Each structure stands twice: as structure tokens, then as C-alpha cells.
């Protein structure tokens, strides 16, 4: 596990971007499963603010680790957030964007997206392998859209699963645990004091945490697990 703590979100975003550029220097094209919610929003704004050519976006095919089951122009849509904060600003070509169709029936969309991933990505034993899976952590210990009250979905044999947010009841589509752990690199981007307790539990006592939180079951077979966290999210680790 590689854990870096940053004093500001800007430092976190620029360090993660430097890490991404190292991955882009290793191969012609990479596939990335984006996380949703508010944390990546500032990263996308940062990427959009970079000088032209700082990142060769043509080297990346964009997928998602999860999506809310809403239309693509809905305020809750991860795709809409990414389009507004990144794609529209960098003029990203549509042919490299593979969104989850939140407007579809969840179980059907989980199946469709799973098939699409098998077509678009290299697979090992039928499990598609992303170059990078970006993840956040919810203050309840969820990751992607795999929630503690549906831990069995982490273990699903399916590539993508329909899930339900425990509070809002919002239906979602998420990668299953085996796809997350098949990725060449998994990156947690975690900010904010409301994540500090879960960060401490997951890092401090992973076996116990893995019985309760999907985020604690993120253990990529590649061993390439990276944590980019800010000092607020790290404050129970460092005691500050």
C-alpha cells in the first residue's frame, strides 16, 4: 500500500496528476474507471485548468466505476458532473467516453455495461482489467456504489451489479469487487474529516474493517493500491 497525505486538495490533485502522467508514459493508451461524487470534481477542475497538451487526453478511454440510475443530464449524474467539469472544457471526443446509461433499467444496464467492458478491455479469466480504477470512500465505508448493507454484491460473480443507496434509496450500477481488484492500479482519492474514522479503521485494522466495509475489501491482486488523502481525512491516522 502506498499512502500519501497532502496538506491541501490542490497538492493532492497535482500529485495524483503526476502519478497519472507516469502511467501515461508507460503505454500508448490507458483505460480508467472514474469515481463519482464531489471529491473528483476538484480533480477534474484541476485537469481542465492545465495548459493545453499537459495531458494527452487522446491516450485515455474513460469509463466509470459506478453511476446513479438517473438520466445523463440529471444533477446527480456522475457522467454529467464529469462532462461539466472536464469533458466540455477539454473538448474530449465522445468516442473515448463510455458512460453507464443511468437512464436504463438498473439490472439490464449492469448486464449491458458488463458486456461492454468485456468487449473494450483485456480480461483475465473473463474479468475485465482496467489500467486504473479511481475510488472514493463514503463516510459509511462504501466505495464505488457497493454499500455495507449489500456486502454480498461485493462478491458478485457479475461484472457490474445494480445496487441501492442505503439512505436515499437511489438505484445505482456499480463495478463488482472482482473487477475492482483485477485492476492494474487502484487509487483511493479521499478528502474531508468525515472520512477520517473510516480511513483509520480500514488502514489500521483491515481484517476487521473488511467484515463491515466494501472499501476495506479493495485489495488489488496486482498489489498496486495507492491512497491519495488530504490531512483532514488522515487526521485520525496522524493524531493531529
**What is the binding site for ligand 6PG (CB under 6 A)?**
35-39, 66, 78, 136-138, 142-145
Element (H, E) at 10: helix 9-26
E strand or H helix that includes residue 110:
helix 106-120
Kindly tell me which of 13 and 145 has the beta carbon lying closer to ligand 6PG. 145
Cβ-defined contacts of 146-149 (< 8 Å, 24+) = 146/66, 146/174, 146/176, 146/177, 146/214, 147/214, 148/212, 148/213, 148/214
- Residue 67: strand pairing partners: 173
| Residue placing its CB nearer to ligand 6PG in the complex, 76 or 131 | 76
| In the complex, minimum distance from the CB of residue 136 to ligand 6PG, in angstroms, rounded to a whole number | 2
Q: How far is the CB of 205 from ligand 6PG (least distance, A)?
A: 21
Nearest approach, Cβ of 125 to ligand 6PG (angstroms)?
26
Measured from the CB of residue 58, what is the shortest distance to ligand 6PG in angstroms?
A: 25
Query: By C-alpha distance, which of 132, 129, 125 is closest to 62?
Result: 132
- Residue 63: CB atoms within 10 A of its CB come to 24
Q: How far is CA 99 from the centre of its chain?
A: 13
In the complex, minimum distance from the CB of residue 78 to ligand 6PG, in angstroms, rounded to a whole number: 5
Closest approach of Cβ 165 to ligand 6PG, in Å? 8
Q: Which residue minimizes CB distance to ligand 6PG? A: 136
Looking at beta carbons only, is 42 or 59 nearer to ligand 6PG? Answer: 42
Comparing CB distances to ligand 6PG, the nearer of 129 and 144 is 144
The CB-of-174 to ligand 6PG minimum distance in angstroms stands at: 8
Q: Report phi then psi at 40, rounded to 5.
A: -65, -20
Nearer to ligand 6PG, 20 or 33 (CB): 33
C-alpha cell at 165: 443507496
Instruction: Give whichever of 59 and 72 is closer to ligand 6PG, judged by the CB atom.
Output: 72
Asked whether 195 and 227 are in contact (CB, 8 A), the reply is no
Helices (H), 72-105: 78-82, 88-90
Nearer to ligand 6PG, 82 or 111 (CB): 82
Q: How far is CA 22 from CA 41, 89, 120, 147, 202, in A?
A: 22, 23, 23, 32, 27
Amino acid at each position: 500500500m502506498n499512502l500519501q497525505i497532502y496538506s491541501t486538495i490542490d497538492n493532492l490533485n497535482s500529485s495524483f496528476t503526476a502519478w497519472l502522467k507516469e502511467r501515461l508514459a508507460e503505454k500508448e493508451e490507458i483505460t480508467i474507471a472514474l469515481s463519482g461524487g464531489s471529491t473528483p470534481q476538484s480533480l477534474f477542475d484541476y485537469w481542465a485548468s492545465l495548459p493545453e497538451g499537459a495531458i494527452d487526453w487522446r491516450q485515455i478511454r474513460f469509463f466509470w466505476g459506478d453511476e446513479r440510475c438517473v438520466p445523463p443530464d440529471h444533477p446527480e449524474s456522475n457522467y454529467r458532473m464529469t462532462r461539466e467539469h472536464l469533458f466540455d472544457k477539454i473538448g474530449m471526443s465522445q468516442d473515448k467516453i463510455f458512460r453507464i446509461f443511468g437512464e436504463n433499467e438498473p439490472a439490464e444496464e449492469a448486464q449491458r455495461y458488463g458486456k461492454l467492458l468485456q468487449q473494450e478491455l483485456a480480461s483475465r479469466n473473463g474479468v475485465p482489467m482496467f489500467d486504473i480504477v479511481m475510488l472514493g470512500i463514503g463516510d459509511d465505508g462504501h466505495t464505488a456504489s457497493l454499500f455495507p448493507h449489500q456486502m454480498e454484491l461485493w462478491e458478485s460473480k457479475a461484472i457490474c451489479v445494480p445496487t441501492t443507496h442505503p439512505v436515499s434509496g437511489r438505484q445505482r450500477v456499480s463495478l463488482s469487487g472482482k473487477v475492482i481488484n483485477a485492476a492494474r492500479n487502484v487509487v483511493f482519492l479521499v478528502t474531508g474529516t468525515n472520512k477520517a474514522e473510516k480511513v483509520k479503521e480500514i488502514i489500521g485494522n483491515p481484517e476487521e474493517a473488511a467484515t463491515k466495509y466494501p472499501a476495506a475489501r479493495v485489495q488489488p491482486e496486482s498489489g498496486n493500491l495507492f491512497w491519495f488523502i488530504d490531512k483532514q481525512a488522515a487526521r485520525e491516522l496522524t493524531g493531529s
